[in-house]
Amino acid sequence: MLIDLYNFAQYNSDRNLHESNHNPQAAVSEMEWLREARGSGFLSRLPDDLVRAVVTVGQRVEYPPGTLALRWDESPKTGIVLRGTLRAFIALPDGGQVTTRYLRAGDITGVYAPRQPHLARGVHALDACELLFVDAVRVKELSLTNPLFAWAMIEELTTVLNSAHKAMYVRGFGSLRQRVVSAILDRAEALGGVTAGQSVPGTQHELANAVGSVREVVATVLQALKREGLVDIRRGGLVILEPDRLIEEATAGLGLAT
């Protein structure tokens, strides 16, 4: 399913989040839907009053599993992941994709300010997801009037930039095997951590899209990893068996610190 990134399944957009300002019990209930997103990432760095300032003007959007959403920068917005995991990518003219980052609750994505040239950026919902979108004008206002907000944005955008640089580095200099292993590790990290026994859902076709290859080639790599005892292939995904060895595979010869 291909949709516009910011105009899908809007709900609760008319909810008045200001109602709880004078009711402490309501304030607790109001912030409950942000629990997962405040556990890490951007919102975890902000005090309650700034969080309310952000969510009051935000638009909540749900994505079913498997949704592909594209955007061409016409209306810059910051998207905050409230729940679920997604893969951020740039779509190429030939239909290929370059994965830039895996996202989990608390991470941000989107186009933060007007820029040229316009790029076909997108996200792929790996499971049921919800994002909160905030218009770039509001983000700019909050940044100019609240140093804490501005610094939190700087820290988050540093993470975004570092992730993109790493993705381009592995794409440009890593072997296909390393790209596959890196994609497995990145998705496992988004799901909560790289540990023995961690299940990593997803089809071989999805993994091929993530690394810029085709299913048949990725299947060969996965079978080799299985024979070597690094992963176990299951229906609808795989299980990590040797996380330390996978990390060594992903970084060997690339000079990447772990």
Residues 6+ away with beta carbon under 8 Å from 50? 142, 146, 148, 149
How many helices (H) and strands (E) the chain has is answered by 8, 12
pLDDT band at 253, cuts 50/70/90? confident
Residue pointed to by tokens 């809007």: 10
d(C-alpha 85, C-alpha 130), whole Å: 9
E-assigned strand segments in 120-184? 121-125, 129-135
pLDDT in tens, 57-94: 889 999 999 888 877 666 788 999 999 999 999 888 88
| Residue 124: strand, helix, or coil | strand
Between 22-26, 99-103, 181-185, the lowest mean confidence (pLDDT) is in: 22-26
Residues 79, 62 contacting (CB under 8 angstroms): no
Regarding predicted confidence, which is higher, 18 or 246?
246
What values do phi and psi take at 53, rounded to 5? -65, -30
pLDDT in tens, 166-175: 888 998 899 9
CB burial of residue 166 (10 Å; 0-12, 13-18, 19+): middle
CATH class held by domain 175-251: mainly alpha
| Residue 100: strand, helix, or coil | strand
> What six digits make up the tokens of 245?
């060895």
Between 38-47, 114-123, 186-195, the lowest mean confidence (pLDDT) is in: 114-123
Q: Give the mean pLDDT of the chain.
A: 84
Task: Using the predicted structure, report yes or no on whether residue 2 has a pLDDT greater than 80.
Answer: no
pLDDT, mean of residues 244-256: 86
pLDDT band at 208, cuts 50/70/90? very high
d(C-alpha 131, C-alpha 68), whole Å: 14
Quickly name the fold that domain 2-170 has.
Jelly Rolls (2.60.120)
Element (H, E) at 86: strand 86-91
Other CB atoms closer than 10 Å to residue 218's CB: what's the count? 24
State the pTM of this model: 0.80
> What six digits make up the tokens of 141?
């206002």
User: Which residues face 109 on adjacent strands?
Assistant: 79
Domain residue extents for the chain? 2-170, 175-251
Torsion of CA 240, 100, 220, 126, to 10 degrees: 60
